[in-house]
Amino acid sequence: MVLKVFRLIGLFLFCTLSAQKKLPLDSLNLREVKDFFADDYGNFYLYKNRDFSFTKYDSLGRQHGQMMLAVPFKIQNVQNPLNIVLFSENTQEMKFIDQNLNEVQKIDLRKFGFIKMAFAEDLQQIWLLDESAKRLVQYNFREDKIIKSLSMNFSFDEVRDMLVYEDKVYLIFKNEIQVYNFKSEKKLSLPIENPLKLRRENDRIVIISKNKISLLTETSLTTLFLAPSAEIVDKNSDAYFELTAGKLYLYRLQEDLKL
């Protein structure tokens, strides 16, 4: 088992990527992009802070949907492009949108106090960091029922993203990732430069930073992809993506090294 784990980590560390491929998105569309996402179906999503627009394109650069938001929202991810989750700290609400970026459901979170961060576990339950009560709430929004309310003893101020998986809470701050159990005991703390997003891929936790993508192991971080000059990076199950100087590049993993 130990050899298998090291083999997997070795593949992550030393896998070779095919030559970069420039993707056909108009450079005008890539200006002022705050965040970028890629799903497993060849679609790309751009979020812009200037007008709070969230736009979907296919692999040929054709627009397939756009959502104009009135305030800033945080997009959880697009791993399930049929149900994309957005959270607004400003308006204290979550939105579920479909593959055409149409709103399907809105959840008002104001009854909980002040929610600093939210994470949708599935299409029934969400996890909420309630800053006003210093607690973590598991909420079934289909039944309007609180499942768990757990006291948490850490600073909520600088939380950039949150993920809950297997009775652990993963949090990224300005230059650090921290992992807690449900008793608010810190299980891990590691420095990482400018982390932005957390993502779960099966049983792996991936951290996406400004120009680096890292894998979290039990005690350390392993670099999966590094693009020093990138403005934004992202990944799906087949490739890594780099947005640099108004151009979007794809680095596809070799077929025999996919995990």
> What distance in Å separates the CA atoms of residue 109 and residue 91, rounded to the nearest whole number?
9
> What distance in Å separates the CA atoms of residue 9 and residue 6, rounded to the nearest whole number?
5
> What distance in Å separates the CA atoms of residue 253 and residue 62, rounded to the nearest whole number?
24
In this predicted structure, what is the pLDDT of residue 29?
A: 73
In this predicted structure, what is the pLDDT of residue 167?
A: 94
State pLDDT tens for residues 93-118.
999 999 999 999 999 999 999 999 99
Nearest-CA neighbor of 174 among 156, 155, 192? 192
Which portions of the chain are predicted below pLDDT 70? 1-19, 24, 27-28, 254-259
CA distances for 61 relative to 25, 34, 46, angstroms: 5, 18, 12
> What distance in Å separates the CA atoms of residue 13 and residue 8, rounded to the nearest whole number?
9
- List, in sequence order, the alpha helices (H) in the chain: 2-14
In this predicted structure, what is the pLDDT of residue 256?
A: 35
